[in-house]
């Protein structure tokens, strides 16, 4: 495709001929309102919001169905096109319940944004004249539908028909009685269903899991990587610190990454934030006894010292960051231990699919491979096992066991149990199933920070506590 | 007025829908002539004849046929649009019930010209009894070996949506999807049925083909005007003595047609207005009707359209606000709901007129209706909403005092 010059609002832009005008507008952050267009779903042309004025054309044209041609002169503002935006928006809102105060989408709603930008008109229709539809319909898969708030952009139905090809959703009825619905006797049930919540530009589809928990304008979004499996999907973690409480994560949202996950994530990954907060281990244990950290570290050192010369095995979790794994390998050398990451417990054939979900559930299995850490258990007796959050810690026979772990699970079996930070409380590099390296920053800092792998090793080695 | 019977020539003969009677009266005689020509020659004749699509748009049929590829890289299809749902229009059903073999003959010739082996007839769901007659005729044609050896015809019944008369929505429906019009192509190209080139034509267009083949392009051009050659099955309903379908040539004065075939206005009353070509054309006042002639160019020049030629005649006692309400209820009910201006605009304009009729309206409402007409015009995928805009504008523009009177009370 050849590059051509087009003029938009008096500025010249270079674009590929034959590509969609709306993509150019989005790319250059030129304001154009739209509901139905989505880069992953393509143009549908039903909302009629993305109208622009093209010189030489009698009527306004939708940018999502306009192909770029040499020398086009486009106006996204001006008296005529402003009134078109206002008019179409007024129609979108005519049967809308305008229930923003109780709508969970408020703050991230396109209708709200566009009303402030293009509308600011008075309502002409009375509440009794509005078309009534069903509200809070449980579609399944944590998706709640409010048909009255829907603008019928068909993003959700296109997602289930074009992307997941599961066809649960459709539009039924005609005219202003048209509404989104599941097919008769079917629920929305596919492993990626909750993406329709992000796709929905308005408050028609909200998450049963997230709704009413927090107003979005109180949330901080931090880019991160999902660790639900080895795909390493890009996400936003929405979190905040409620007054007098500890830092809290409310939801994961997909973050666009063309190399890995495109625009979407799976529901299991999306809901995996819960595991980062529930059932966490926050104190140290000596056998079944709670212990203060100093005593626990003392015991740790005693056990390691007395085991030197015999077989010590360090078990490294395949979800740890590359930097953390490197530190474990280094530590093993210093105490004459070997490192292993038994890999079988991470494999879940039923979880894997042909799209995003990988049957390798460990997020950093490729880093284990890269560092040459063995994935088999060494033969022979083990006198000391130190597990860095490995799921097999309690299944491996050893004379003595030290476990650093993020969650409560089992504590009473081990000689020493130390609490460990989760991946959102730490930072480092992940290598996904296709060998793509991604950096995952630290997202939250709890009021009482729990040490990371590196911090623990530094402490047990360093002497000073 | 000159009698002209191109598609209605066998309508008056009893049992004209049977193969035996139709054959006795000359059905299928054009096929042999057509098969003596090449497909491209047939398309040339259709182009020369100036045959225009008779489903409402009036686009030249030959130009559409010419877009069909002759290379047969992929299968081509013919789809006959018999989803006749435009209010005031009831001509195609006369063809499929009175002379279905004429349509079959036209289909065979058209399929030969565009190198299609399969034709689908999309019949309006409500036309159950007419569809049965057509199916019986198709069965007879199969038995007689007329069909089956080169062309297969399948009837598809619609499920009752007006929008499925729009050709791209029709094809979506035929593909088993929701009847939504498609985005318009960027250049001239055929329609697509499951990704294969497809010609969509109205029943009457196809039924006119055998006559053109038999009598040549010049034979067809003996009727009508130079730009609107031939005839149309014009129809009349409403306040006339003899409502019905009568074939007439293009260019016939409208009043003459109404008086000659319709026997004048019902009960000898005065004419008030006529919607000339199915509901979706601009209404004409009695004064305009007196000057109007029934051809595409003239109707366009007076700001209306010939449409399907289905005239809705209204006498002096007609309440124009009620009449518009009737139409808006129809559009409200039939908007497919795909694009916003139409989905919400048709409903809203119906709601506003409801206000006006129930005595809760104000003059602001009338202006809002006109505003809405502007919003709906030229911003949608198909021409449904622009048609509603035309209807609203013409009613209020020509009969505003009646609307004012309703809100003044």
Distance CA(A377)–CA(A345), nearest Å, equals 13
Q: Does the beta-carbon distance from A91 to B340 stay under 8 Å?
A: yes
Is the pLDDT score of A463 beyond 70?
Answer: no
The alpha carbon of residue B179 is apart from the nearest alpha carbon of chain A, in Å, by: 10
DSSP β-bridge partners for residue B271: B315
> Average pLDDT in the B195-207 region?
97
Check whether residue A238 and residue A288 sit in a common domain.
no
Check whether residue A241 and residue A390 sit in a common domain.
no
Q: Does the beta-carbon distance from A175 to B337 stay under 8 Å?
A: yes
Which residues in chain B are contacts of A121 at CB distance < 8 A?
none
Distance CA(A167)–CA(A162), nearest Å, equals 8
- % of chain B surpassing 70 pLDDT: 100
Distance CA(A360)–CA(A364), nearest Å, equals 9
Which residues in chain B are contacts of A114 at CB distance < 8 A?
none
The residue of A43, A46, A149 whose CB has the most chain B CBs within 10 angstroms, and thus the best one to mutate to test that interface, is A46
The residue of B181, B344, B348, B360 whose CB has the most chain A CBs within 10 angstroms, and thus the best one to mutate to test that interface, is B344
As given in the structure block, the two tokens for residue B254 are 């409208």
| pLDDT level of residue B330 (50, 70, 90 thresholds) | very high
Report the b/e string of B292-301 with b at 16+ CB within 10 A. Answer: bbbbbebbee
Domain-embedded: residue A220: no
Which residues in chain A are contacts of B337 at CB distance < 8 A?
152, 171, 173-178
Domain-embedded: residue A237: yes
> Average pLDDT in the A51-72 region?
94
ipTM over 0.85: yes
- CA distances to A153, A172, A177, B198 from B161, rounded to whole Å, are 21, 13, 14, 21
Check whether residue A76 and residue A162 sit in a common domain.
no
**Euclidean distance between the first and the last CA atom of chain B, given in angstroms as a whole number:** 47
pLDDT tens digits along A263-314: 999 999 999 999 999 999 999 999 989 999 999 999 999 999 999 889 999 9
The alpha carbon of residue B287 is apart from the nearest alpha carbon of chain A, in Å, by: 32
Q: What is the mean pLDDT of chain A?
A: 94
Which residues in chain A are contacts of B375 at CB distance < 8 A?
87-88, 90-91
Query: B44, B32, B31, B52: which is closest to B105 by C-alpha?
Result: B31
Given this model, what pLDDT does residue A412 score? 76
Distance CA(A47)–CA(A380), nearest Å, equals 68
The residue of B162, B343, B377, B382 whose CB has the most chain A CBs within 10 angstroms, and thus the best one to mutate to test that interface, is B343
Which residues in chain B are contacts of A125 at CB distance < 8 A?
348, 351
Check whether residue A14 and residue A114 sit in a common domain.
no
Check whether residue A313 and residue A430 sit in a common domain.
yes
Q: Does the beta-carbon distance from A176 to B381 stay under 8 Å?
A: no
> Average pLDDT in the A238-242 region?
94
As given in the structure block, the two tokens for residue A359 are 């049957």
Contact A281, A408 (CB under 8 A): yes
Q: Does the beta-carbon distance from A95 to B347 stay under 8 Å?
A: yes
Quote the number of domains for chain A: 4
- CA distances to A141, A196, A392, A399, A411 from A341, rounded to whole Å, are 34, 37, 9, 19, 20
Given this model, what pLDDT does residue A464 score? 47
Domain-embedded: residue A387: yes
Check whether residue A290 and residue A420 sit in a common domain.
yes
| pLDDT level of residue A124 (50, 70, 90 thresholds) | confident
Domain-embedded: residue A258: yes
Q: Does the beta-carbon distance from A46 to B339 stay under 8 Å?
A: yes
As given in the structure block, the two tokens for residue A100 are 């923003």
Give the closest of B178, B183, B186 to A171, CB-based: B178
Q: Does the beta-carbon distance from A46 to B161 stay under 8 Å?
A: no
The chain B residue lying nearest A35, using CA atoms, is B340
The residue of B159, B161, B342, B347 whose CB has the most chain A CBs within 10 angstroms, and thus the best one to mutate to test that interface, is B347
Give the closest of B336, B340, B374 to A47, CB-based: B340
Domain that holds residue A151: 95-123+133-207
Strand B310-315 relative to strand B284-285, pairing: unpaired
Distance CA(B328)–CA(B318), nearest Å, equals 16
Check whether residue A315 and residue A443 sit in a common domain.
yes
Which residues in chain B are contacts of A171 at CB distance < 8 A?
178, 337
Could you tell me where the beta strands, DSSP code E, fall in A98-167? 137-140, 143-145
Distance CA(A133)–CA(A155), nearest Å, equals 19
pLDDT tens digits along A382-395: 999 999 999 999 89
Q: Kindly report the CATH number assigned to the domain that includes residue A11.
A: 3.10.20.740
Check whether residue A319 and residue A434 sit in a common domain.
yes
Domain-embedded: residue A215: no
| pLDDT level of residue B409 (50, 70, 90 thresholds) | low
Domain-embedded: residue A172: yes
Count chain A–chain B contacts defined by CB atoms under 8 A.
91
Give the 3-state DSSP-derived string for chain B, with helices as H, strands as E and coil as C. Answer: CCCCCCCCCCCCCCCCCCHHHHHHCCCCHHHHHHHCCCHHHHHHHHHHHCCECCCCCCCEHHHHHHCCCCCCCCCEEEEEEECCCCCCCCCHHHHHHHCHHHHHHHHHHHHHHHCEEEEEEEECCCCHHHHHHHHHHHHHHHHCCCCCCCCEEEEEECCCCHHHHCHHHHHHHHCCCCCCCCCCCCCCCCEEECCEEEEEEEHHHHHHHHHHHHHHHHHHHCCECCCCECEEEEEEEECECCCEEEEEECCEEHHHHHHHHHCCEHHHCCEEEEECCCCCCCCEEHHHHHHCEECHHHHHHCCCCCCCCEEEEEECCCCHHHHHHHHHHHHHHHCCCCCHHHHHHHHHHHHHHHHHHCCCCCHHHHHHHHHHHHHHCCCCCCCHHHHHHHHHHHHHHHHHHHHHHHHHC
Check whether residue A315 and residue A428 sit in a common domain.
yes
> Average pLDDT in the B314-335 region?
97
The alpha carbon of residue A215 is apart from the nearest alpha carbon of chain B, in Å, by: 29
| pLDDT level of residue A379 (50, 70, 90 thresholds) | confident
Predicted TM-score (pTM) of this structure: 0.93
pLDDT tens digits along A127-154: 888 999 999 999 999 999 999 999 999 9
Given this model, what pLDDT does residue A407 score? 93
The 3-state DSSP class for residue A363 equals coil
Which residues in chain B are contacts of A87 at CB distance < 8 A?
341, 371, 374-375
Check whether residue A84 and residue A182 sit in a common domain.
no
As given in the structure block, the two tokens for residue A336 are 């004459």
The residue of B184, B340, B345 whose CB has the most chain A CBs within 10 angstroms, and thus the best one to mutate to test that interface, is B340
| pLDDT level of residue B403 (50, 70, 90 thresholds) | very high
The residue of B337, B355, B374 whose CB has the most chain A CBs within 10 angstroms, and thus the best one to mutate to test that interface, is B337
Domain-embedded: residue A214: no
Q: Does the beta-carbon distance from B351 to A65 stay under 8 Å?
A: no
Contact B312, B284 (CB under 8 A): no
Domain-embedded: residue A218: no
> Average pLDDT in the B337-349 region?
95
Q: Kindly report the CATH number assigned to the domain that includes residue A100.
A: 3.30.70.20
Q: For residue A57, what are the contacts with CB-CB under 8 A and spacing of at least 6? A: none
Q: Does the beta-carbon distance from B348 to A47 stay under 8 Å?
A: no
| pLDDT level of residue A188 (50, 70, 90 thresholds) | very high
pLDDT tens digits along A13-26: 999 999 999 999 99
> Average pLDDT in the B123-140 region?
97
| pLDDT level of residue A243 (50, 70, 90 thresholds) | confident
> Average pLDDT in the B304-325 region?
96
Check whether residue A345 and residue A360 sit in a common domain.
yes
Give the closest of B337, B348, B374 to A174, CB-based: B337
Chain B interface residues (partner A, CB cutoff 8 A): 161, 163, 178, 183, 186, 332-348, 351, 368, 371, 374-375, 378-381
Which residues in chain A are contacts of B371 at CB distance < 8 A?
87
Q: Does the beta-carbon distance from B161 to A174 stay under 8 Å?
A: yes
pLDDT tens digits along B153-185: 999 999 999 999 999 999 999 999 999 999 999
Q: Does the beta-carbon distance from A88 to B380 stay under 8 Å?
A: no
Given this model, what pLDDT does residue A465 score? 42
> Average pLDDT in the B216-236 region?
96
The chain A residue lying nearest B179, using CA atoms, is A174
Which residues in chain B are contacts of A124 at CB distance < 8 A?
368
What structural domains and CATH numbers belong to chain B? 19-48+60-221 (3.40.50.11540), 231-315 (3.10.20.600), 320-408 (1.20.1440.230)
Burial class (CB in 10 A: 0-12, 13-18, 19+), A259: exposed
Contact A165, A354 (CB under 8 A): no
Given this model, what pLDDT does residue B155 score? 97
Q: Does the beta-carbon distance from B344 to A176 stay under 8 Å?
A: yes
Check whether residue A233 and residue A115 sit in a common domain.
no
- CA distances to A353, B245, B304, B319 from B276, rounded to whole Å, are 60, 14, 8, 18
Handedness of CA B379, A199, A203, A183 (dihedral sign): positive
């Amino acid at each position: 495709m050849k590059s051509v010059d087009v003029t938009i609002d008096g500025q010249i832009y270079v674009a590929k001929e034959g590509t969609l005008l709306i993509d150019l507008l989005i790319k250059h952050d030129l304001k154009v309102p739209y509901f139905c267009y989505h880069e992953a779903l393509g143009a549908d042309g039903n909302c009629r919001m993305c109208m622009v004025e093209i010189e030489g054309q009698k009527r306004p044209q939708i940018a999502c169905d306009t192909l770029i041609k040499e020398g086009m002169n486009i106006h996204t503002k001006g008296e005529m096109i402003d009134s078109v935006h206002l008019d179409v928006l007024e129609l979108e809102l005519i049967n809308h319940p305008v229930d923003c105060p109780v709508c969970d989408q408020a703050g991230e709603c396109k209708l709200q944004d566009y009303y402030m930008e293009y509308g600011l008109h008075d309502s002409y229709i009375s509440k009794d004249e509005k078309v009534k539809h069903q509200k809070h319909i449980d579609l399944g898969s944590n998706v709640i539908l409010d048909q009255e708030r829907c603008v019928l952009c068909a993003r959700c139905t296109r997602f289930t028909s074009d992307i997941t090809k599961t066809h649960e959703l459709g539009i039924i009825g005609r005219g202003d009685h048209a509404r989104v619905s599941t097919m008769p006797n079917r629920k929305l049930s596919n492993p990626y269903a909750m993406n329709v919540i992000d796709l929905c530009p308005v408050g028609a589809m909200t998450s049963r899991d997230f709704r009413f928990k927090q107003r979005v304008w109180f949330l901080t979004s931090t880019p991160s990587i999902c660790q639900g499996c080895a795909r390493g999907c890009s996400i936003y973690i929405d979190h905040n610190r409620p007054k007098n409480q500890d830092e809290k994560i409310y939801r994961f949202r997909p973050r666009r990454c063309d190399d890995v996950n495109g625009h979407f994530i799976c529901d299991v990954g999306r809901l995996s934030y819960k595991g980062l907060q529930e059932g966490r281990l926050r104190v140290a244990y000596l056998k079944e006894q709670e212990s203060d950290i100093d005593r626990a570290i003392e015991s740790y050192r005693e056990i390691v010292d007395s085991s030197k010369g015999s077989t010590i095995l360090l078990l490294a979790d395949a979800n740890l960051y590359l930097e953390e794994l490197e530190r474990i390998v280094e530590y093993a050398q210093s105490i004459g231990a070997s490192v292993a990451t038994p890999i079988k417990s991470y494999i879940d054939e039923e979880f894997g699919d042909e799209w995003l979900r990988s049957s390798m559930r460990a997020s950093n299995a490729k880093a284990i491979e890269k560092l040459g850490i063995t994935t088999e258990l060494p033969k022979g007796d083990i006198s000391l096992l130190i597990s860095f959050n490995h799921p097999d810690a309690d299944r491996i026979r050893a004379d003595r066991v030290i476990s650093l772990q993020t969650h409560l699970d089992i504590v009473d079996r081990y000689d020493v149990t130390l609490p460990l930070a989760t991946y959102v409380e730490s930072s480092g590099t992940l290598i996904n199933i296709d060998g793509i390296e991604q950096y995952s920053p630290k997202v939250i800092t709890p009021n009482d920070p729990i040490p990371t792998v590196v911090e623990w090793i530094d402490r047990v080695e360093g002497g000073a506590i | 007025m000159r009698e002209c019977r191109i598609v209605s020539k066998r309508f008056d003969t009893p049992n004209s829908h049977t193969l035996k009677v139709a054959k006795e009266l000359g059905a299928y005689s054009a096929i042999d002539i057509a098969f003596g020509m090449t497909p491209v020659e047939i398309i040339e004749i259709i182009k020369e004849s100036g045959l225009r699509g008779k489903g409402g748009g009036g686009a030249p049929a030959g130009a559409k046929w010419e877009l069909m590829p002759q290379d047969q890289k992929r299968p081509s299809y013919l789809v006959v649009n018999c989803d006749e749902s435009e209010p005031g229009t009831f001509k195609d059903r006369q063809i499929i019930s009175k002379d279905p073999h004429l349509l079959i003959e036209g289909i065979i010739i058209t399929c030969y010209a565009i190198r299609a082996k399969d034709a689908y007839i999309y019949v309006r769901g409500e036309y159950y009894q007419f569809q049965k007659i057509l199916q019986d005729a198709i069965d007879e044609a199969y038995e007689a070996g007329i069909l089956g050896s080169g062309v297969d015809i399948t009837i598809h019944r619609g499920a009752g949506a007006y929008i499925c008369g729009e050709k791209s929505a029709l094809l979506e429906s035929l593909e088993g999807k929701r009847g939504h019009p498609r985005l318009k192509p960027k250049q001239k190209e055929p329609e697509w049925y499951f990704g294969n080139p497809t010609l969509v034509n109205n029943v009457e267009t196809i039924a006119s083909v055998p006559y053109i083949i038999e009598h040549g392009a010049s034979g067809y051009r003996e009727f009508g005007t130079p730009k609107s050659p031939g005839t149309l099955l014009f129809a009349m309903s409403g306040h006339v003595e003899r409502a019905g379908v009568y074939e007439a040539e293009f260019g016939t004065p409208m009043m003459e047609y109404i008086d000659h075939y319709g026997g004048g206005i019902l009960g000898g009353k005065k004419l008030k207005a006529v919607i000339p070509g199915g509901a979706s054309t601009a209404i004409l006042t009695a004064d305009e009707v007196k000057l109007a002639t029934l051809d595409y160019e003239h109707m366009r020049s007076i700001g209306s359209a010939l449409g399907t030629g289905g005239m809705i005649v209204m006498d002096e006692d007609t309440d124009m606000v009620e009449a518009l309400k009737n139409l808006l209820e129809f559009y409200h009910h039939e908007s497919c709901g795909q694009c916003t201006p139409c989905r919400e605009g048709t409903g809203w304009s119906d709601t506003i007129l409801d206000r006006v009729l129930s005595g809760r309206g104000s003059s602001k409402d009338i202006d809002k209706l006109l505003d809405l007409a502007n919003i709906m015009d030229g911003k949608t995928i198909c021409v449904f909403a622009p048609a509603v805009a035309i209807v609203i504008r013409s009613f209020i523009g020509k009969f505003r005092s009646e609307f004012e009177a309703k809100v003044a009370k």
